[in-house]
Amino acid sequence: MTSFSTRRAPRGNEVDYWRQARRQAYVSVRTDPVGGAFGGEIRLGRYADFRLSTKRARPEQVRRSASDIAQGREDEEYLYLVFQLSGTLLVEQAGRRTLATPRSLVIYDSAVPFSLSTKENYEQVVLELPADKAFSLAGVSRSNDLLARAFDCDGAVGAVAAFFVNLAQSQGGDLPGAHRLEPQATALGTSLIGLIAPGQRGMPESLRRGEALAYMRAHLADPDLDAEGIAAGLHVSRRTLFRLFEGTGESAMGRLRSLRLERARVMLRTQPGKRISTIAQETGFSSSVQFYRAFRAVAGMTPSEYREAGITEGPAAAPLVPGLET
């Protein structure tokens, strides 16, 4: 966990501190307070495939222009899924403007100029996903259709929103538990894109791919699980199974391999006492040698090296900023 709070800034330097904090937690933007004294805090959890944060602040105006994007140092382009908890947020992007109210979801893209503004104290949970990967795994073509639109957090969308809000609010006190949920969180984040994408809600192919992923997760400890076994478990043909993953960037078996490595990564980080050979067995690898080779090919280091690097976590979250309580 990493935390930022303007309480740590020298008196009079709160705004400069906040600008730097925003840049480190998200992407480079220009931000200015609205009204009098400013204060804010961010509590950020970093995971392999996403970032999740809670943000509370007093009124501000945020802008990211085309020149800011061109001069940015970000390695990737990101989608920001904002779950608004209190206050309102005006989002302007891609020729649209929308007002996010409490219990709503709004999305903006770091690769497209945007403006965010608040006129009152606010609190939100922010999920950051690599844009290209999120769209690909959701089986949705990347476009601006989702940007600067407010979605009500009800039904299935509300269930996913509740998961991320609860995870964001609890990750500081139970970081190992949060990391155990990392594979499920990644899947839910990309599933959310599929749920709200125009023309995608309830599409059979999207739902069947979700069922396939759930089946893989439930049976990935079986080293003999293959495409034929997955197809049989879903009562579909192998050809149908392969088609479900076309356009996602991974084949069905490639996705199974990724799920196994994701599960192994979480176990290495959260269960330091478990033998690596046991982790290999419980994630469906036929031998420790096979596990070592597969893990090193993806992570660039051995499981032992990853465990040693991964168990180091940041300081506990800072106290809330006075005056921001709701």
Region 136-150 average pLDDT: 87
**Alpha-carbon distance 232 to 301, whole Å?**
35
CA distances from 104 to 57, 162, 176, 187, 239 (A): 18, 11, 29, 20, 39
**What is residue 199's predicted lDDT score, i.e. its pLDDT?**
57
Task: Give pLDDT tens digits for 56-92.
Answer: 999 999 999 999 998 877 788 999 999 999 999 999 9
Q: Which fold has domain 2-196?
A: Jelly Rolls (2.60.120)
The predicted pLDDT at position 310 comes to: 66
CA distance 190 to 169: 20
264's CB contacts (< 8 A; 6+ apart) are 279, 280, 283, 285, 291, 295, 303
For 73, the 3-state DSSP assignment is coil
Q: Please name the amino acid found at residue 192.
A: L
- Using an 8 Å Cβ cutoff, are 151 and 196 in contact? yes
Domain borders along the chain are 2-196, 204-310
Residue pLDDT, tens place only, 216-230: 888 889 999 999 999
SS3 273: coil
Q: Are 75 and 107 in contact (CB under 8 A)?
A: no
Mean pLDDT to the nearest integer, 81-109:
93
CB atoms within 10 A of CB 208: 16
What is the residue whose two structure tokens read 């950051």?
Answer: 128
Given pLDDT bands bounded at 50, 70 and 90, which one contains residue 202?
A: very low
CATH code matching the domain that covers 204-310, chosen among 3.30.43.10, 3.20.20.370, 3.40.1010.20, 1.10.10.60? 1.10.10.60
